[in-house]
Homo-oligomer: A and B are copies of this chain.
Amino acid sequence: MTGQLTGTAAALYDHIKDLPIVSPHGHCDPSWFAGDAAFSDPAALLVIPDHYVFRMLYSQGVNMADLGVGPEGQGADPRAVFRLFADHWHLFLGTPSRVWIEHVLYQTLGIGTALSPDTADAVFDQIAERLARADHRPRALFDRFNIEVLATTDGALDDLGAHVAIRDCDWQGRVLPTFRPDGVLDPGDPAFGSNIAQLETDTGCDLSTYGGYLQALRQRRAYFISRGATATDHAIEEVHTEWLTDPEAQYQMIRKGGGNAQAFYGHMLIEMAQMSVEDGLTMQIHGGSRRNTNALIMDRFGRDMGADIPVATDWVRGLEPLLRRVGNSTVFKLILFTLDETTYARELAPMAGHWPCLRIGPPWWFHDSPAGIARYFDQVVETAGYHNLAGFNDDTRAFLSIPARHDLWRRCVAMHLSGQIDKGYFGRDDAERIAQLLATDLARDAYGLAR
């Protein structure tokens, strides 16, 4: 995806391409930076952990175990995995995965050989050679990538040991945790009971009462804040919030394994929002993904294995109870991420163009792609403007792809703004200002990351 921009778009891209990377939401492992060990091998880096990659191969009949995925894939030969991937490289034509991986190979890693079935071994060897170098260790890459700040996603019960280690070492990289409490809020989570027990142990709070439960949650939030967190995150299938008149009673039923899980979780989202008003953590809701729709794959390979599928989402009615309680706050920030693009123009843009707390998150997951980004701008800006957007985040666990993803976003921003100029919406000066907002400033603001 390089060398394609011309004219005004190229100029706007030049204006922002070298800005630092602000990465306020993603799934990198903080222990990479705490330990700074070399990445192991090309397959473990580029194929095995990337659900965009193995889902496509699986859809065309490739056995996931042969790709080294999951328990069955343990012990797969990395070189054989990489060959199998290269054999199916044509499947990715037209997908952002191909764009990202090409950027990683040819720009980030400086591989000089084009990937194809015939060059799999040569490319594998070149990548492996790079990974063995000291200048390709996680911290060195982080610095070279010009990452200003990187937020990880961490369970509410995480001790944040890696984050503490990063803070206490002599490396200056800014890696922050994000508070992801779904495991201790959602009674539908199979581990909910044991999570609550651990929450009680960790906090020393008395979880036999609802008040104690809230106190434990507040304590965990405070702990995350003390370790640098500026945001929380929730992933929910159906967007549902409701305010219970007697949460204590519901809590007691939930504790005994009964109760209404959806109602309780919907209530707790409002409690979380109210705590955000108090403690200032920006709240994120990723809504509308139906998880683990393939039972066979779930049983054999576990979660996050490519069978999470979006469903239609009703943000208006789903969020109404939450917004009625806290939506008029001017200190609260709530960022919404959707997989149902029909809600961009119909729901999210009108909502964000009214409620002071709301920001629209960037195109997420399947829609973090050139056409997806174009649809996003086309459908949100006219109603919400630019200042109700939350900028970009890469949302990735593929560390090496972070520059590729931000670069793609910045190219798409430049193309969008060039088109806006052509339509007469505004001139070059305004476009440059908005380009910088979209590249870095809106994200810093939405997540409270400015220093």
Residues of A participating in the B interface, judged by any CB pair closer than 8 Å: 1-4, 55-56, 58-61, 90-96, 98-99, 290, 293-297, 306-312, 314, 316-317, 320, 323-324, 327-328, 330, 339-342, 345-347, 349-356, 358, 366-367, 369-372, 375, 378-379, 381-388, 420, 422-426, 430, 434
Contact = CB atoms under 8 A, between A and B. Distances in A.
Contact of A388 (B59, B327, B387, B424): B59
B94 A425 contact: yes
A311 B314 contact: yes
A346 B354 contact: no
A382 B56 CA distance: 11
Centre residue among A297, A370, A383 by max chain B CB count within 10 A: A383
Nearest to A3: B424
Contacts of A384: 59
A296 B355 CA distance: 11
A382 B353 contact: no
Contacts of A355: 59, 294
Contact of A434 (B1, B93, B309, B425): B93
Contact of A350 (B366, B382, B388): B366
Nearest to A412: B423
* Of A328, A353, A367, A426, most B-chain CB atoms within 10 Å: A353
A383 B95 contact: yes
A370 B388 contact: no
Nearest to A378: B371
Given A94-B381, A311-B317, 9 more contacts: A4-B423, A56-B385, A58-B356, A59-B354, A93-B385, A99-B424, A310-B346, A345-B372, A371-B379
